[in-house]
Structures are given as C-alpha cells and as structure tokens.
Amino acid sequence: MIFDTHCHIYDDKYEEGIDKVVETCLMNGISLMMIPGDNINNSKKAIDIASRFEEVYCAIGIHPEEVDSIDLEEGIKQLKELYLTSNKIKAIGEIGLDRYWVKDEKTINKQKEFFIAQIELANELHLPIIVHDREAHGLTLEILKKHTPKYGGVLHCFSGSLEYMNEILKMGFYIGLDGPVTWKKAEAPKLVARNIPLEKLLVETDSPYLTPHPYRGKINYPYYVKYVIDEIAKIRENNSREIEEATYENGKRLFGIR
C-alpha cells in the first residue's frame, strides 16, 4: 500500500489527461493520493479530481508564490466556501513561505500574512496543514511556534538540517521526502531520511516536479514515489515494504483518512 501525499496532477504538463494519469497510478501500485491546491482555481481542480476517484483526496490553499494574485480577506472567504463543497478535503495547503523565488520584503511580509491566516483557518476547520518552506526555515519555525497549528501538519519537500527537523518534530509535525532524496549530490535529504523516526515520515512526489532518479529531468508521476521509497529503504537499511506500510499509515493518520 503506497500513499503519495503530495502530487499536483491537475498540472497542464500531463497532456494525456487527469483520468489517464490516475488510472496509470492505480495500475502501478499507488493506493492513495493527496492533491494540494496552490491557488483558488487549482484548489477547485483538486476537489473535482478527488470527487471522481475514491483513492484521491485533496487540500485547498494559497501558495506563497500566489499571494499577489488575490486579496487576503477574499482568499480566505473563498477557501471557506470551497471547504463546504466536499468531504474529501483533508488539509489546508500548500501554504507557507518562499524566499528562493521572492526577495522583496514587502512580498515576504504578505506571504507571512497569508501563512498565518491559513493556519488560523485550518484550526477553525480542524484540519492539518501542508507547509511549503523554501529557504525560509527560521521564519517558518518562528511562525509555527507563535501560531500553533492545532491539528498538526507536514513540512512538504523537507530541505532543512537535522537540527531544524528536530525542532519541527517537537511540534508534532511530519516530514515529507520526495525526489531529491534519490539525487546523488543531495546530502541533506539523505541525512534526514537516515535519522527521522519512521513514524513521522511521509513520502511524496510533488508531481510533475522534482522527478526522482533515474527519470530526473522528465515529468514526474505519483507512481515514481516507489523510487523515493526504495532509496529511503536503502539509506535506512530497511526493506521497501516496511517504508511503504509505515508511510501509508502515517499519511492516513495525519489526514484523518479511515
């Protein structure tokens, strides 16, 4: 049983169409998929896909790169309205901070406002959060400590140090690892994979991005999460089935899937 806990399969890069992507994933051993929203429109797409496939769940949210595209109050209003449309919505996300693409402090401050407001929304709706944190570890941790997510969450595509990982784990969060753990020169995720408690690990693809070896440079698919699992098993000296089962149950636990 395999759970890809983060995949954007509504992306236009999938020229074969969403139905074909999902069907291929199911045929290749994927049992569950979580589709996060990164803006209002894609959140609607995620809800639609989840409504059509029993194995697919979704999250709704406004990504930090999208904060200039919508008014904060209006964005929260629309997310609340979307939540009422589906019982397949299991988290608020993908939300957080991005200092890799964004250098302007005015926009960073706006990202902070959206992040905090969406944490508060998740608390109101009794949902966990899916966090995007790119080169903003200190600020992300500061916000999470000041505005505690009451229902936990996951640091998606974790890229921090062991010290940062331990601070996140103290808050009850999960850590998501994806394609970079398979890349030869990606030392940080390999170190995290070796040291993270298995009960706090999730596996993901971030499809269509961050494609694992040996398909790096090509479009990513949720069923490629098997390469992530195999690499983590190799690093930890476990068997792949053990990683599959643990991360499957961890994902179900976090997102309240029975």
Tens of pLDDT along 126-141? Answer: 999 999 999 999 999 9
User: How buried is residue 199: exposed, middle or buried, by Cβ count under 10 Å (0-12/13-18/19+)?
Assistant: exposed
Q: Report the Cα 95 to chain-centroid distance in Å.
A: 9
How large is the average pLDDT for residues 58-69?
A: 96
E strand residue ranges, 61-128: 89-98
> Which of 96, 92, 91 is CA-nearest to residue 111?
96
Strands across the sheet containing 174-177 = 2-4, 30-35, 56-60, 89-98, 129-134, 153-156, 174-177, 201-203
Q: Which CATH number fits domain 2-255: 3.40.50.150, 3.40.640.10, 3.90.79.10, 3.20.20.140?
A: 3.20.20.140
Q: Is the C-alpha dihedral spanning 178, 160, 37, 51 positive or negative?
A: positive
Q: What angle do CA 196, 250, 86 make, to 5 degrees?
A: 135
pLDDT 10s digits, 198-235: 999 999 999 999 999 999 999 999 999 999 999 999 99
| Among 126, 130, 121, residue whose Cα is nearest residue 63 | 130
Q: Is the pLDDT of residue 103 over 80?
A: no
Residue 77 neighbours by CB under 8 Å, 6+ apart: none
Residue 99 and residue 136 in contact, taking contact as beta carbons nearer than 8 Å: yes
pLDDT band at 78 (very low <50, low <70, confident <90, very high): very high
Contact partners, residue 210, CB within 8 Å, separation at least 6: 157, 178, 179, 180, 220
pLDDT of residue 31: 98
Question: Which helix (H) or strand (E) covers residue 156, if one does?
Answer: strand 153-156
Among residues 166, 170, 137, 165, the alpha carbon closest in space to that of 152 is found at 170
* Eight-state DSSP code of residue 97: E
Q: Is 126 exposed, middle or buried (0-12, 13-18, 19+ CB in 10 A)?
A: exposed
Identify the bridge partners of residue 91 per DSSP, sorted by sequence position. Answer: 59
What local confidence, expressed as pLDDT, does residue 74 receive? 98
CA torsion through residues 24, 27, 230, 172, sign: positive
Is the confidence at residue 188, as pLDDT, over 90? yes
Q: Predicted confidence band at 33 (pLDDT cuts at 50, 70, 90)?
A: very high
> What is the three-class DSSP state of 54?
coil
Over the chain, what is the mean pLDDT? 97
pLDDT at 242 over 90: yes
pLDDT of 100 strictly over 90: no
The pTM for the full model equals 0.97
Please tell me the distance from the alpha carbon of residue 90 to that of residue 134, in angstroms, as a whole number: 23
